Amino acid sequence: MKEITQLIKEKLEMAFKEAGIDEKYAFVSLSNRPDLCEYQCNGALPAAKEYKKNPMEIAESIASHLKEDEMFASVEACKPGFLNLILSSEMLAKYVNGMAEAKVAFGFEKDPKQKTVIIDYGGANVAKPLHVGHLRSAVIGESIKRIKRFGGDKVIGDVHLGDWGLQMGLIITELQERQPDLVYFDESYAGEYPVEPPFTISDLEEIYPTASGKSKADADFKAKAMEATAQLQQGRAGYRALLKHILNVSVSDLKINYDNLNVEFDLWKGESDAQPFIPDMVQKMKDDGYAYISEGALVVDVKEETDTKEVPPCMILKSDGASLYNTTDLATMVMRQQEYHPDSIIYVVDKRQELYFTQVFRCAKKTKILPADTELVFVGFGTMNGKDGKPFKTREGGVMRLSALLSEINDKMYEKIRENATMTDEEAKATAKIVGLSAVKYGDLSNQASKDYVFDMDRFISFEGNTGPYILYTIVRIKSIIAKYGQDASAYSILPAKSDSEKALQLELSKFSGAIRGAYEEIAPHRLCAYIYDLANAFNHFYHETRILAIEDEKVKGSYIRLLELTRDVLSLCIDLLGFEAPERM
């Protein structure tokens, strides 16, 4: 199904041609005066310049061509040369019926050329607990993944674990101090290592912060940890075996956490998986003359003439030969290119890493790790702040763990929902979890990703205003009206709107494909949030003004139910693309 704006544009193009004006001026936009019209075309103004005519004359001539058209209830030329358009209720009803009857996706047309897109998000660091900083990457990345997939792309989500840094050496060193007799530390040992890990996830969660604290106070300890990291990276067998244990234990815990967030990865690769690709990559960079030694380190220049800020060289290897975060990201590209030949790779990472990604992207293109036409996109997100405007902390001022944040939200939501006396305790708990997640995710996604935002728990969990629970509440309300109706309305169709509020609701519904297209092309989940907020508002307005079930005429009632079903389905689909779902009641 064509987008509604496309249909309007085609009509305008015909009218422009008939009026002897180039159709390139037939552009249509949403009205910025919704009190006057629904859509508008301002093309007569620039056209007047080219044709040296009065814009009002052009607008009037076009209006006269369109006046009789069944698509419009009214076409008005307004000073100084605007065209104000109001759709006919018949045409609009036909369009939304088409959406309701479409076999897939309410008539949304997928991009016919399927692109392979890798989304690098989550980015949790192994053995360190997830904190709220990781929340944004997971929430935004998951939604981008779903939107891209819905738009027709072949999408691969990769968590890209941080599993190759100093934290590994810290854990190994601390473990060695506690249990020096473990076989992993015996360099002469040549047998198989135990299958059972020598620690649990709660051990790890305690070992890492202890070791990290020690390394800050004790230079000796830190040197040992760095040495252990280097030995691990060089392949010391006992350390590699420990890394495997750390990964296994940590990943099963991460899976539970991401599961609670409704976040799912196709790949659980980490920085360590890219290691085998490093030697050849580095050799090729040297052979091709891109990499050279500067102050002992191996670097590639990535500055460009047009730079307004300095972009330092991309460091490939440190002077001691050790690999860096950069090296791993570049080697990961080598791996991704070999395995998937992606058309596009999207990185959802804290925006403070922007310069870093500029360096890495340029280096990858310059050294031909990736073909010139592979699209590399950095979706940098802002900081999640507390109500004081500073980065979000616990009440005690420490780093807030993600699990703690989620259980706090769930508890508050549970209190709210328990007020609904008809629910069993069990149902209230399950519902609180669903609604709580919508609060967290919508609170994040409704902001443009690159902006900082204030995590305001009380606002986010409110059932009113621009919140996730408000959207869910709207869906639940619709479901309950449909349940009360209790019949099959599929024989009815949506009738032309009989009131302004009904027309406004149908208009919002008709914008569905455009909203999806916008979110898809701009990689912008917040566009979807804005759309469903408008749609939910339009529905609630209609609901307050209309006797839906009390109306006598069965055809009208059936038409309302069909309209409600479509609203429910569009809202449900959109929240699924945002990464949450609605309960049966709340």
Distance CA 148, CA 156 (A): 10
Kindly identify the residues of this chain, within the stretch 173-232, that bind ligand ARG according to CB under 6 A.
none
Pick the stretch among 117-125, 284-292, 381-389, 541-549 that binds ligand ARG (CB under 6 A): 117-125
Tell me which of 123, 238, 436, 468 binds ligand ARG, using CB under 6 A: 123
DSSP secondary-structure letter at 267?
A: B
Considering beta carbons, is residue 162 or 579 the nearer one to ligand ARG? 162
- Nearest residue to ligand ARG by CB is 123
Considering beta carbons, is residue 332 or 410 the nearer one to ligand ARG? 332
Number of H helices, E strands in the chain: 20, 13
User: Residue 83 is encoded by which pair of tokens?
Assistant: 């065209």
Considering beta carbons, is residue 119 or 457 the nearer one to ligand ARG? 119
Pick the stretch among 120-128, 380-388, 483-491, 567-575 that binds ligand ARG (CB under 6 A): 120-128
Q: Is 138 in the site for ligand ARG (CB under 6 A)?
A: no
Decide: 460 and 468 in contact? Cβ < 8 Å: yes
Nearest distance from C-beta of residue 121 to ligand ARG, angstroms: 8
Q: How far does CA 286 lie from the centroid of its chain?
A: 38
* H-assigned helices in 263-353: 278-287, 325-340
Nearest distance from C-beta of residue 394 to ligand ARG, angstroms: 19
Nearest distance from C-beta of residue 305 to ligand ARG, angstroms: 27
Report DSSP letters for 64-80, one per residue: HHHTT-TTEEEEEEETT
Nearest distance from C-beta of residue 133 to ligand ARG, angstroms: 7
Nearest distance from C-beta of residue 259 to ligand ARG, angstroms: 20
Considering beta carbons, is residue 153 or 273 the nearer one to ligand ARG? 273
Pick the stretch among 84-92, 119-127, 223-231, 539-547 that binds ligand ARG (CB under 6 A): 119-127
Considering beta carbons, is residue 120 or 142 the nearer one to ligand ARG? 120
Q: Is 347 in the site for ligand ARG (CB under 6 A)?
A: yes
Nearest distance from C-beta of residue 544 to ligand ARG, angstroms: 46
Q: Is 349 in the site for ligand ARG (CB under 6 A)?
A: yes
Nearest distance from C-beta of residue 316 to ligand ARG, angstroms: 15
Residue given tokens 């230079």 in the structure block: 219
User: Residue 444 is encoded by which pair of tokens?
Assistant: 């994040």
Considering beta carbons, is residue 25 or 121 the nearer one to ligand ARG? 121
Considering beta carbons, is residue 72 or 347 the nearer one to ligand ARG? 347
Nearest distance from C-beta of residue 159 to ligand ARG, angstroms: 9
Kindly identify the residues of this chain, within the stretch 61-100, that bind ligand ARG according to CB under 6 A.
none
Tell me which of 160, 224, 245, 416 binds ligand ARG, using CB under 6 A: 160
Nearest distance from C-beta of residue 449 to ligand ARG, angstroms: 14
DSSP secondary-structure letter at 161?
A: B
Decide: 317 and 295 in contact? Cβ < 8 Å: no
Nearest distance from C-beta of residue 130 to ligand ARG, angstroms: 10
Q: Is 270 in the site for ligand ARG (CB under 6 A)?
A: no
Q: How far does CA 177 lie from the centroid of its chain?
A: 43
Nearest distance from C-beta of residue 163 to ligand ARG, angstroms: 9
Q: Is 162 in the site for ligand ARG (CB under 6 A)?
A: yes
Distance CA 444, CA 517 (A): 21
Q: Is 158 in the site for ligand ARG (CB under 6 A)?
A: no
Residue given tokens 């045409």 in the structure block: 91
Considering beta carbons, is residue 89 or 353 the nearer one to ligand ARG? 353
Q: Is 125 in the site for ligand ARG (CB under 6 A)?
A: yes
Q: Is 132 in the site for ligand ARG (CB under 6 A)?
A: no
Nearest alpha carbon to residue 360 among 309, 299, 307, 306: 299
Considering beta carbons, is residue 347 or 542 the nearer one to ligand ARG? 347
Decide: 119 and 158 in contact? Cβ < 8 Å: yes
Kindly identify the residues of this chain, within the stretch 226-255, that bind ligand ARG according to CB under 6 A.
none
What separation, in Å, do the N-terminal and C-terminal C-alpha atoms of the chain show? 35
Nearest distance from C-beta of residue 472 to ligand ARG, angstroms: 31
Q: Is 141 in the site for ligand ARG (CB under 6 A)?
A: no
Q: Is 13 in the site for ligand ARG (CB under 6 A)?
A: no
Decide: 197 and 243 in contact? Cβ < 8 Å: no
How far apart, in Å, are the Cα atoms of 355 and each of 68, 311, 560? 56, 7, 53
Tell me which of 3, 13, 60, 120 binds ligand ARG, using CB under 6 A: 120
- Asked if residue 80 has a cis previous peptide bond (ω within 30° of 0), the answer is yes
Considering beta carbons, is residue 347 or 473 the nearer one to ligand ARG? 347
Cα dihedral angle (461, 465, 468, 472), rounded to 10 degrees? 100
Considering beta carbons, is residue 107 or 123 the nearer one to ligand ARG? 123
Distance CA 443, CA 451 (A): 13
Residue 526 phi, psi (nearest 5): -65, -25
Q: Is 329 in the site for ligand ARG (CB under 6 A)?
A: yes
Q: Angle at the Cα of 473 (from 471 to 478), degrees rounded to 5?
A: 100
Report DSSP letters for 329-352, one per residue: HHHHHHHHHHHH--SEEEEEEEGG
Considering beta carbons, is residue 357 or 543 the nearer one to ligand ARG? 357
Considering beta carbons, is residue 262 or 359 the nearer one to ligand ARG? 359
Q: How far does CA 480 lie from the centroid of its chain?
A: 30
One-letter amino acid at 375 equals: E
Nearest alpha carbon to residue 560 among 100, 103, 108: 100
Considering beta carbons, is residue 331 or 405 the nearer one to ligand ARG? 331
Considering beta carbons, is residue 121 or 531 the nearer one to ligand ARG? 121
Nearest distance from C-beta of residue 230 to ligand ARG, angstroms: 20
The strand ranges marked E within 143-214 are 154-158
How many residues at the interface with ligand ARG, by CB under 6 A?
Answer: 8
Residue 348 phi, psi (nearest 5): -105, 95
Nearest alpha carbon to residue 167 among 121, 115, 225: 225
Decide: 16 and 23 in contact? Cβ < 8 Å: yes
Distance CA 437, CA 520 (A): 23
Q: What is the length of the chain?
A: 586
> Which residues contribute to the site for ligand ARG (CB under 6 A)?
120, 123, 125, 160, 162, 329, 347, 349
